[in-house]
Structures are given as C-alpha cells and as structure tokens.
Amino acid sequence: MKVLVTGGAGFIGSHTVVDLQTSGYEVVVLDNFVNSNRQVLNNIEKITGKRVDFVEGDVRNKTDLDTVFKRYPGIEAVIHFAAYKAVGESVQSPLAYYENNIAGTVYLLQAMKAASLKKIVFSSSCTVYGEVDATLLPITENAPVVKANSPYGNTKKIGEELLLDASKAEGFNVVSLRYFNPIGAHDTALIGELPLGIPNNLVPFITQTAIGKRKELTVFGNDYPTRDGSCIRDYIHVMDLANAHVKAIDYLHTSNENFSVFNIGTGQGNTVLEVVTAFENVTGTILNYKIGPRRAGDVVQIYASCQKAEQELGWKAERTLENALETAWKWEQYLATSPFMD
C-alpha cells in the first residue's frame, strides 16, 4: 500500500517514514524543506535500504499537490505532518500559521477529494486541552477542547474541526493524533530532531547544552504546584509516536469510524528536573542548568490517558524516557561530527 507523507523530512515525519517502510508500506514524501534538511531522505534510505519517492513542494501550492497525485497513482492514505509548530513564532506571525496550517490542510483535502482519496491522519496536539484541573489527569480524549492560547494551538483546534466537518460532509475518514511531547531519535542516530536556531523545546536544549552549543539550560520555574516545583509533561519517544501513525493507517482501513481522536503519549508525567536528572544518569554527563522564571503560556502539568489508543488502535508506547534521552544524545553527537547540518 502506498502512503503520502506531507512533511516527511521533518522530525516526526522522518521517523514515521522509517516505520512505514519497515512495515511494508511504499512511501511518497511531499516536503518543502522549510524546516528540514534534504539529507534526511538519504539517511532514511541508509536505515531502511529503500529510496523514498519524494516531491519537493508545498501544501499551499495546488500544482504541487496535483503533481503528487498524478505522478504517484495508487496512494491510498495521507499522513499530514506539514505545518509550522513554534508557539512563540505563531504569536508573532499568526497569518503565516493560519495560511500554512489551515489553508494548507484545506488545499490538501481538496486535492485528495479530486484524487478520490479519503483517508487521512492528522497531527494534532495535547495543547487542545489547555490548562487542566489535576483531577482530570491522566487526561482522556473526552476532556473538553478549550480556547487555544496561541495561534499555533488554534491551528490544531481548527484543524480538527475542519476535518470533522469534512468527514461529515465529504466522506473523509480521519484519525487525529494528539501528540504529547515527542523526544528522542532513531536508534541508529541517523535521523532526529533538527531545530532551526535556538531550540524552544526542552530536550534539544538539553542536548545542545551538554555538547557545548549552549552555555546553560534555564529551567522555566520551580515554584509550580508539582512534586519538585517544575512543570510536568508526558515525554514520548518519537519512534513510539511514529508507530502510532502506522497503526492509525491500519485502523483507517478496518474501522467504520469517520472521525476519531487519540491521545498519543506514555501515560507517565515527568517534571523538567526529572528529565534533567535522567539525562545526566543515562549519559554520565553533568548538565549546566539554572532555575529561571516561569515561561509565559506554560501549563502546570499534563499527561495522557492512552487507553483508547491501546484498545482501538492496538498501540502502546514501549520505550522508556531513558532510551529516548540516550538516543537524543547520540543524535546530538552524530550532528557534531557529520556534515549534515549548517
């Protein structure tokens, strides 16, 4: 079976392409490399031994979308990763976020409709739950979706709404995966996360500090009402997250549901300071960090109930936080010695 992966050279996209290929799927990637590197496709081939078919193009460009579906007949499902994802940047440039994440999704659905293709997996986020009462944790998919606190978060909320409407009116079959905090890299360390500039996310900031690219990590707040005062998140290994997409594609072929959402996390919450300590333990390094003020917009704590994914998708996270941190560190070391970057 052939699957189109938009944003397939990106962090989660590239790991998903590897899992799809090793699970026997043929993969076509559409990527504009705006937040990724074309060398990623070569490294995917090194891992799987299979060349990735790809079109360099943009989901906002109807001609690019038509090219994909004409050049690769037989695509049976789409996994739609291509989107902007930086919360702070979205506050500065909301129109770019709505154009890429919302208009891009609309154009993709229109091109799919023209190609008589109805199955789509969408990248959503736990950000749709906002700040939740501790009594609701671990959070289930039945928790209310709240007003987003950034344009980025709003694009995920609206993305789900437009897919729900399209599933009702146009017969699309949709699986929306609400990711918690993806971290880590492939075991080979040939692919991983490639942040542009100064990382916003915790784990790339940790690995860049450990390797000497950044002077020190700032832990954003230690006065939250949690066990050590730092925020709690559900950190999920990117290879586990990738596998959820393969399971979602299988589900689209067997289920009668037109629109489903699933939490994709581990079910475990860890504080920022626990992640720092785990990183030091698995890598044998001492991390230079300080406690700083809270970061605007951070929720205190969130972690997933993944029972629905386990029961209906037959998916469950298998890897540990330690393994995720170990592979993230291996990847940072690989980047330091390869001409991959910069």
Q: Which residues are catalytic?
A: 152
Nearer to ligand WQD, 17 or 203 (CB): 203
Q: Does 306 bind ligand WQD (CB under 6 A)?
A: no
Query: Least CB distance from residue 125 to ligand WQD, whole Å?
Result: 4
Q: Does 233 bind ligand WQD (CB under 6 A)?
A: yes
Q: Does 85 bind ligand WQD (CB under 6 A)?
A: yes
State which H helix or E strand residue 56 sits in. strand 53-56
Residue from 68, 185, 202, 261 touching ligand WQD (CB under 6 A): that is 202
Nearer to ligand WQD, 70 or 290 (CB): 290
- Within 276-305, which residues bind ligand WQD (CB under 6 A)? 295, 298
User: Considering only 104-112, 218-226, 278-286, 331-339, which stretch makes contact with ligand WQD by CB under 6 A?
Assistant: 218-226
- Residue 250 zone, left/alpha/beta (φ > 0; ψ -120 to 50; rest): alpha
Report d(CA 237, CA 133) in Å as an integer: 25
Q: Does 177 bind ligand WQD (CB under 6 A)?
A: no
User: Considering only 51-59, 111-119, 199-207, 256-264, which stretch makes contact with ligand WQD by CB under 6 A?
Assistant: 199-207
Among the listed residues 255, 247, 300, the one whose alpha carbon sits nearest the alpha carbon of residue 139: 300
Residue from 218, 222, 258, 333 touching ligand WQD (CB under 6 A): that is 218
Find the DSSP H helices in the chain.
Answer: 11-22, 39-48, 62-71, 87-92, 94-97, 104-114, 151-170, 202-211, 238-254, 272-283, 307-308, 321-337
Report d(CA 37, CA 31) in Å as an integer: 10
Among the listed residues 83, 92, 37, 78, the one whose alpha carbon sits nearest the alpha carbon of residue 60: 83
Joined tokens for residue 32: 């504009």
Residue of minimal Cβ distance to ligand WQD: 231
Query: Least CB distance from residue 195 to ligand WQD, whole Å?
Result: 10
**Structure-token match 């001609």, residue found:** 63
Among positive and negative, which fits the CA dihedral 36, 109, 73, 173? positive
Q: Does 127 bind ligand WQD (CB under 6 A)?
A: yes
Q: Does 89 bind ligand WQD (CB under 6 A)?
A: no
Work out the end-to-end distance of the chain between its first and last CA atoms, rounded to an integer number of angstroms. 36
Residues that bind ligand WQD (CB under 6 A): 85, 87, 125, 127, 181, 200-202, 205, 217-220, 231, 233, 272, 295, 298
